[in-house]
Chain A
Amino acid sequence: MSHSSEHVGGTTKLFMMVWISLLAMTLIEVYLSYIHLAPGLMISILMALSLVKAGLIIAYFMHLKFEKKSLILTLIPMWLLVTCLFFIFFPDSFRLLEFRIP
Chain B
Amino acid sequence: MSTFEAERSTASVWDGGVSPFSIPSKKLGMWLFIISDALTFSGLLIAYSYLRVASDDWPLPFHFYPSIVVSSIMTFALLSSSLTMVFAVASAQKGRTSAAIGWLWATIACGMAFLLLHANEWLNLIHEGLRPFENPWGTPIFGATFFTITGLHMLHVTIGVVLLAVISIGHKSGRYTADHVEISGLYWHFVDLVWMFVFPLIYLMSVPLE
5 tightest A-B contacts by CB?
A: A96-B54, A46-B200, A33-B204, A93-B53, A93-B54
Q: How far is the CB of B208 from chain A (nearest CB, A)?
A: 9
B113 is an interface residue with CB less than 8 A from chain A: no
Cβ < 8 Å to B, chain A residues 33-48: 33-34, 36, 39, 42-43, 46-47
B204–A30 touching, CB < 8 Å: yes
Cβ < 8 Å to B, chain A residues 62-92: 62-63, 67-68, 70-71, 74-75, 78-79, 82-83, 86-87, 89-90, 92
Residues of B within 8 A of A68 (CB): 20-23
Interface size counted on chain A using CB atoms at 8 A: 51
Determine the distance from Cα of A100 to Cα of B75 in the docked complex, in whole angstroms: 37
A90–B46 touching, CB < 8 Å: yes
Determine the distance from Cα of A29 to Cα of B46 in the docked complex, in whole angstroms: 20
Determine the distance from Cα of A68 to Cα of B23 in the docked complex, in whole angstroms: 9
Determine the distance from Cα of A53 to Cα of B194 in the docked complex, in whole angstroms: 11
Range of interface residues on B (Cβ < 8 Å): 35 or more
| Contact A79 to B31, CB < 8 A, known contacts A29-B204, A34-B64, A100-B56 | no
Determine the distance from Cα of A88 to Cα of B53 in the docked complex, in whole angstroms: 15
B86–A61 touching, CB < 8 Å: yes
A9–B90 touching, CB < 8 Å: yes
B64–A33 touching, CB < 8 Å: yes
B120 is an interface residue with CB less than 8 A from chain A: no
B20–A70 touching, CB < 8 Å: yes
Tell me the B residues contacting A by CB distance below 8 Å. Answer: 6, 20-23, 28, 31-32, 35, 38-39, 42-43, 46, 49-51, 53-56, 64, 68, 72, 75-76, 79-80, 82-83, 85-87, 90, 93, 182, 186, 189-190, 192-193, 196-197, 199-201, 203-205, 207, 209
Residue from the list A9, A43, A50 in contact with B196, Cβ < 8 A: A50
Q: How far is the CB of A33 from chain B (nearest CB, A)?
A: 4
Residues of A within 8 A of B207 (CB): 33-34, 36
Chain B residue nearest in CB terms to A96: B54
Determine the distance from Cα of A93 to Cα of B58 in the docked complex, in whole angstroms: 13
| Contact A19 to B190, CB < 8 A, known contacts A39-B205, A100-B56 | no
A30–B68 touching, CB < 8 Å: yes
**20 chain-A/chain-B pairs, Cβ below 8 angstroms:** A12-B87, A15-B83, A16-B83, A23-B76, A26-B72, A29-B199, A32-B204, A33-B203, A34-B64, A61-B83, A62-B190, A68-B20, A68-B21, A74-B21, A75-B32, A78-B35, A79-B38, A86-B46, A90-B53, A97-B56
Determine the distance from Cα of A50 to Cα of B203 in the docked complex, in whole angstroms: 13
Q: How far is the CB of B117 from chain A (nearest CB, A)?
A: 15
Q: A12-B90, A15-B86, A26-B72 are in contact. List 10 more A-B contacts (CB 8 A).
A: A33-B68, A33-B203, A33-B207, A46-B200, A61-B189, A62-B189, A63-B186, A71-B23, A92-B50, A92-B54
